[in-house]
Amino acid sequence: MEAQANAAKYKSVLKKVRPVNEAMPQDLNPPLGRPELSRDPYETPLSPNPPPFFETSKVTEERISMINFGPSGWLSEEEINLLNNVILLRQKAIAFCEEERGVLKHSYGKPYKIPVIPHEPWQKKPIPIPKSILPQFIELVRERIRTGLYEQSTSSYNSPVFCVAKPNAKLRIVHDLQDLNKVTIKDAGLPTNVDEFVGSFSGRACYGLGDIMGGYGERELDITIRTLTTFETPLGRL
């Protein structure tokens, strides 16, 4: 099967399973909020003369060396020291490894509930993982259990997963949730129009750098809805 291969491709758009076009329950997922802060961060601006960099248990010289501040000579020593100071001040918001990643605080947004219509549970057969990549797959699953992304499940649902190769040769686990898509209520929201967003930068000198460790997993699924995403692994049902 094509999906079993390490370099498997995603299915075409023509075969995409689309969600249900029904009214979205308005009381299911309250809008994200902004809780009151203990202090206004803008009332405490950065010092123009920050202290020299010093290591902490989280921000070490080795980890600082992993950060790309641009080509040599692009920033002055004073500017680099200022950025290092910002990193120290905001170190709780930075993750250098998967174990340090967190999730959105419940004070900003409650765990997400997938809106679904009434349905019967489904039990799909697992897609066999090729033996050549099975050890790598198991280690990736173990890592996600350690970091809390996966947890044990006794659900009556079961959906298959398979692996595809990333450009760096590492594996990406793909969850085949087509059956869940069939019973999920469509979200009519649209992503931000990039052209409109970048238009405000016209004629300005802007620079920035962001290294996102992961684009997903920052918001928990509600415990009452996690059963819908259960899948089978050599380490049990998750």
Burial code (b: 16+ CB inside 10 Å, e: under 16) for 165-191 equals eeeeeebebeebbbbbeebbbeeeeee
Average pLDDT, the chain: 85
- Domain check: are 23 and 130 in the same one? yes
The owner of tokens 């066999």 is 128
Identify the pLDDT of residue 10. Answer: 58
- Domain check: are 6 and 94 in the same one? no
The model carries a pTM of: 0.76
- Domain check: are 155 and 62 in the same one? no
Give the residue with greater pLDDT, 68 vs 173: 173
Name the DSSP letter for residue 14: G
Q: Residue 198 is inside which H or E element, if any?
A: helix 194-199
Region 167-182: mean pLDDT is 90
CATH number, domain of 2, equals 3.10.10.10
- Range of the structural domain that residue 139 is part of: 1-33+110-187+213-238
| 10: amino acid identity, one letter | Y
pLDDT digits (tens, 9 = 90+) for 178-210: 999 999 999 888 888 888 777 777 777 766 666
pLDDT digits (tens, 9 = 90+) for 73-113: 888 888 889 989 988 988 888 888 888 888 888 888 899 99
